Amino acid sequence: MIIKINKNKFDKFFKILKGNYDVFAPIGDGMNSKFSRVKSIKEINLDISNTDKSPKEIFFPQTEILFNFESQKINLNAEKNKSFAVWGMRPCDAKSLTLIDKIFGSAKQKPNDENFEDPYWKSKYDDALIFSIGCNTPASTCFCNWFESGPFEKIGSDIFVVNTDEYYLMEAVSEKGKVFLKKVTDFEKGIKKDEEKITELKKRAESYLKKSVDLKALDNVIEEIWGNPVWDELSNKCINCGACTFICPTCHCFDIQDEGKEKAGKRIRLWDSCMFPDFTGEASGHNPRLLSKDRFRQRFMHKFKYFPDNNDDYLCTGCGRCIYVCPVNVDIREVVEKIVKCES
Amino acid sequence: MVKELQKKVRELFEDKKVDMVVGWGKGSVPMSATPLFIKSIDEVDDLIFDETCQNNLAVYFTKDKRKLSKDGKKVGVIVKGCDDRSLVLYSIEKQIKRDDIVIIGVPCDGVIDKNKILRKTNNREVIEYNCDEKKVKVKGRDFELTLDKKDVLSDSCLTCSYPDAQVYDEFIGKARKKVDCKDEFKKVDDFEKLSLDERWNAITEEYSKCIRCYACRNVCPSCYCTKCFVDTNKPQWIGKSPEITDSIIFHLIRNLHVAGRCVECGACARACPVGIDLLLLNKKITKEINQRFDYTAGLDIDEKPVMTTYCENEKQDFIMG
Amino acid sequence: MKDWQPKILAILCNWCSYAGADLAGVSRLQYPPNIRVVRIPCSGRVDPLFIMKAFQTGYDGVLVSGCHPGDCHYLSGNYFARRKFAVLKPLMEFIGVEPDRLQFSWVSAGEGERFSKVVTKVTDDIKKIGPIKKMVKGD
């Protein structure tokens, strides 16, 4: 069932949403757009195709206090917030959260394995209501179609929204979504014409995407590719900054640090990047990934080999942020294409 | 011009004067170029030079990339004025042997800052991009815009006095000496007119955007310590999270480490994924150094960098009497 | 607020200013007890990072003092230090830190009285500005 919200009545819908949830939405224009808490619909900017910073930071902030300590006392940082709702997330970003969830909230996938549950992630992600919005005009850097996904992908979404000229057409995807949409009563219901509109928009959006690379071919070569000289060539221009990993919606590696004064302090978790030499630096001084090439290779091997080995999915959703942000134009698509062409 | 450049590079390969050439190739997205490492004559056709070639290629001769000019290999490198100053700096600081490197200068009229263009298009994606001498034309899925080129040039280019290489082996065309640049320090002067608190607020607002990805440091040709002070953990000087004072200290110390060595190529500002105006502090330092010591980095291959030398009787008005 | 006393980090070179402070002490010269002294081999050893770190951890002011130009134990250490300060001082002011919070002086081993005067002046200056708020890392 589709619920149809006229854009000039969106304020009313937003009030209902805000009454139940702490609402996040894309804000900012030009530079530094990101997902942030919003108070009114005026702040929201849905014209941004992909925010500069990915919405992973809502659930997995760059710095997160794990606990505070004072002398012998430890205060766990376990405040329970109002549940989050995220309005206007792109399908690729919604999907990326399900990938991180495979790591931090693994109990959902592996019911008997509770060892790897991350309470900080779970407390935010599990109750969150995610509205993902179909991309009517994917950018030229988008390549979500590589991953059996697309601009109207519903994975990871609780309520899927289609943005037409006049309306937001909403459809519940998950149980949580259904429960919420039941609360939204006095809006129009969608008719057959709306469903046709959705199919039309979807078709048009998909036509903007370039042809996908055959990732099966990648799987065949990647086993053998590790020692291949192709990495030298590919990594030559990489300067090993962490921009790509920090704006990536799926990168989730972190570091843990203690910060404090004499007797009190806090233990924090912060994003780390496999691009930094420190990431693998050992206490002895030895660094197994000393060279730029080693670190460069790790980033792609993690996304296309190690993560899929463990979790049956690529650690990339094709959002294209890293392509745009890279100061030296390392293009993840080109890297994959070159690896595929490589004879092992 | 690109044809001439390709011809020159081809000649260098034919005369066995170079084993490799570092230049720019076409980027994979509009408004971008990408560093290109040409190892044989067949690859020369990929070489380009235009206003999108914003990277400072000198960076590939230090850090992890040091291997490029090893083993007595001759490496050619294509340079704008600022890139050339970086190579001169490297030569002074003994990071490269001048004789191992063939510097090929190209005439530069400034490079574009694609973030400035995106600000003009309201962050709508640019699919087609064209540029002539004065105008930049961009096209997206549902818009078309014509912009003045000077409005989208990188900040560093707007205040550039040395657009062309001063020290080179080959030059495509005729290299200009110093060009007059009015208002080189206008932005700094304007900022100085603000009150202390206004300045502090502006700085904290700007630097609170920092995500500590270190793109600025890694693209910076002058920043090549084997171990950066933010990466040391014994002692750990500053916190690694993007806390505002930690971020400001990182940037200030970085600025001070490149004081008198910064060639103002602006690569840091263009690389910043969150668009911090990183050049302001560098420019302030350059201003102080210009006025106090009458020194400009990376021009004279025989002159010592300003911070590694001294004069006994220089002004010391900042020291208590 | 009335009882507030500034905390000032004094970074003193071993050969001149530290000895100057010593002389002030043995000569029983009075100066405000607000300084905490760190002895370093030479003013040329001062990394701007030390100074910023002091502000970050809550020092209200920093005084760096070394040998007079020409008197450096290592011949030229203070000349290099002077160039560093020439850039550092305007830069700190540029970002909005009150200029008097960061001061430099030359004090020789024989200038015990000068040392006490310098410390008195720095303390008075910083008392006028008040506690540091900028550059301080929160909890």
Contact A241 B29 (CB under 8 A): no
pLDDT at residue A118 above 70?
yes
Instruction: Report CA-CA distances (Å) from A274 to A278, A280, A281, B249, C85.
Output: 8, 8, 11, 24, 37
CA-closest candidate to residue A300, choices A324, A336, A247, A273: A336
- Does B145 contact chain A (CB < 8 Å)? no
C138 min Cα distance to partner chain B (Å): 9
Name the residue in chain B with its Cα closest to that of C51.
B249
Q: Which residue of B has its CA nearest to A237?
A: B35
Number of other residues whose CB lies within 10 A of the CB of residue A258: 11
Contact A239 B127 (CB under 8 A): no
Task: Write the single-letter amino acid at A38.
Answer: V
Q: What is the mean pLDDT of residues A305-328?
A: 91
Q: How far apart are alpha carbons B176 and B106 in whole angstroms?
A: 10
Mean pLDDT, rounded, for A153-165 = 92
A&C contacts, CB < 8 Å: 3
Percentage of residues in chain A having pLDDT higher than 70: 95
Query: What is the reported pLDDT for B123?
Result: 76
- B285-310: average pLDDT: 92
Q: Which residues contact A226 (CB under 8 A, 6 or more apart)?
A: A297, A301
Q: What are phi and psi of A182, to 5 degrees?
A: -65, -30
More confident of the two residues A288 and A214:
A288
Is A243 within 8 Å of B215 when comparing Cβ atoms? yes
Distance between CA atoms of B298 and B92, rounded to whole angstroms?
A: 8
Strand partners, B134: none
**Cβ neighbours of A334 in B, within 8 Å:** 28
CB contact under 8 A, B307 and C84: yes
With a CB cutoff of 8 Å and minimum separation 6, the contacts of A10 are A41, A168
Q: Which chain C residues are Cβ-neighbours of A264 within 8 angstroms?
A: 139
Annotate chain B with three-state secondary structure: CHHHHHHHHHHHHHCCCCCEEEEEEECCCCCCEEEEEECCHHHHHHEECCCCCCCCHHHHHCHHHHHHHCCCCCEEEEECHHHHHHHHHHHHCCCCCHHHEEEEECCCCCCECHHHHHHHCCCCCCCEEEECCCEEEEECCCCEEEEEHHHHECHHHHCCCCCCCCCCCEECCCCCCCCCCCCCCHHHHHHHCCCHHHHHHHHHHHHCCCCCCCHHHHHCCCCCCCCCCCCCCCCCCCCCCCCHHHHHHHHHHHHHHCCCCCCCCCHHHHHCCCCCCCHHHHHHHHHHHHHHHCCCCCCCCCCCCHHHCCCCCCCCCCCCC
Least confident of A220-224, A315-319, B91-95: A220-224
From the list A33, A239, A329, which residue is nearest B27 (CB)? A329
B229 contacts on C by Cβ (under 8 Å):
49
| SS3 label, residue A49 | coil
Per-residue pLDDT at B232 exceeds 90: no
Residue B66: per-residue pLDDT: 61
Residue C91: exposure state from Cβ atoms within 10 A (0-12, 13-18, ≥19): buried
For residues A79-99, average pLDDT: 89
Give the closest of A243, A276, A329 to B28, CB-based: A329
Please check the confidence at residue A35 and state whether its pLDDT lies above 90. Answer: yes
Do you know the residue count of chain B? 321
Query: With contact defined as beta carbons under 8 Å apart, do C62 and C9 qualify?
Result: yes
How high is the pLDDT of residue A304? 93
Instruction: Write the residue in C93, C105, C136 that is nearest to B319 by C-beta.
Output: C105
Inter-chain CB proximity B249 and C49 less than 8 Å: yes
| Alpha-carbon gap: B213 to the closest alpha carbon of chain A (Å) | 4
Q: What is the mean pLDDT of residues B295-304?
A: 90
Q: How far is C100 from chain A (nearest CA, A)?
A: 26
Q: Which pLDDT belongs to residue A243? A: 93
Kindly indicate the confidence band of residue B79, based on its pLDDT and cuts at 50, 70 and 90.
very high
- The pLDDT value given to residue A224: 85
Subunits with at least 3 CB pairs below 8 A relative to chain A? Answer: B, C
Of C82, C91, C134, the CB nearest to B252: C91
Give the closest of C49, C85, C135 to B245, CB-based. C135
pLDDT band at A45 (very low <50, low <70, confident <90, very high): confident
Distance (Å, rounded) from C-alpha A147 to C-alpha A315?
A: 10
Cβ pair A47:B122 closer than 8 A:
yes
| Higher per-residue pLDDT: A192 or B80 | B80
Q: Look at residue B197 and tell me whether its pLDDT is greater than 80.
A: yes
Average pLDDT for B222-234: 88
Residues of B with CB under 8 A from a CB of C: 188, 191-192, 196-203, 229, 237-239, 243, 245-246, 248-249, 252-253, 255-256, 259-260, 281, 284-285, 288-289, 292-293, 306-308, 310-312, 314, 316, 318-320
Dist CA A60 CA A125 (whole Å): 9
Q: Say what the pLDDT of residue B54 is.
A: 92
- Flag if A140 and B240 touch (Cβ within 8 Å): no
State yes or no: pLDDT of A344 exceeds 70: no
B107 touches chain A (CB under 8 A): no
At B118-153, the pLDDT tens digits run 888 877 888 889 888 889 999 988 889 999 998 999
The phi and psi torsions of A257 (rounded to 5 degrees) equal -135, 150
Mean pLDDT of A186-209: 88
User: Given pLDDT bands bounded at 50, 70 and 90, which one contains residue A79?
Assistant: low
How would residue B11 be classed by pLDDT, with cut points 50, 70 and 90?
Answer: very high
Nearest CA in chain A to C58: A261
Residue A189 pLDDT exceeds 70: yes
Please report the ipTM that was assigned to this predicted complex. 0.94
Predicted confidence at residue A112, as pLDDT, reads: 60
Cross-chain residue pair A264–C139, CB shorter than 8 Å: yes
| Tens-place pLDDT, residues A226-237 | 888 889 889 989
Helix (H, G, I), strand (E, B), or coil: what is residue A44? Answer: coil
Mean pLDDT, all residues of chain A:
88
Mean pLDDT for chain B overall: 91
CA–CA min distance A267, chain C (Å): 12
Q: Which chains touch C (3 or more CB pairs under 8 A)?
A: A, B
Alpha helices in chain A (DSSP H): 10-20, 56-59, 91-104, 119-125, 175-183, 192-208, 215-222, 230-235, 243-247, 292-301, 307-311, 321-325, 332-341
Note which residues in 9-68 of chain C have CB less than 8 A from chain B. 48-49, 52-53, 56
Describe the crossing of helices C48-56 and B244-257 by its angle, rounded to 10 degrees: 170
Nearest Cα residue in chain C from A70:
C139
3-state secondary structure of A303: helix
CB contact under 8 A, B243 and A63: yes
- Which residues of chain C have a pLDDT value below 50? none
User: Are B88 and B157 a contacting pair, CB within 8 Å?
Assistant: no
pLDDT, position A28: 82
Window 58-97 of B: residues touching A by CB (8 A cutoff) are 59-60, 63-65
Mutate to test the interface with B, among C59, C89, C134, C139 (most CBs of B within 10 A): C134
Whether residue A47 and residue B124 make contact (CB cut-off 8 A), yes or no, is yes
Which residue shows structure tokens 């002074």?
Answer: B92
Mean pLDDT of B262-285: 93
Q: Is the pLDDT of residue B64 over 80?
A: no
Residue B170, beta-bridge partner list: B104
Do residues A29 and A48 make contact, with C-beta atoms less than 8 angstroms apart? yes
pLDDT at B83 over 90: yes
pLDDT at B69: 59
- Among the partner residues B229, B245, B316, nearest to C56 by beta-carbon distance: B245
Across the interface, whether the CB atoms of A47 and B231 are under 8 A apart is answered no
Best mutation target, B279, B284, B287, B319, to test chain C (most C CBs within 10 A) = B319
Interface contact flag, C89 B318, Cβ < 8 Å: yes
> Any idea which residue has 């970085």 for tokens?
B254
Rg (CA), chain C: 14
CB-CB neighbors (< 8 A) of A261 in chain C? 57
Q: Is residue C138 within 8 angstroms of chain A, CB to CB?
A: no
- State the number of CA atoms in the 13 A half-sphere of C99 facing the CB: 13
What is the average per-residue pLDDT within B3-25? 93
Res B65 pLDDT > 70:
no
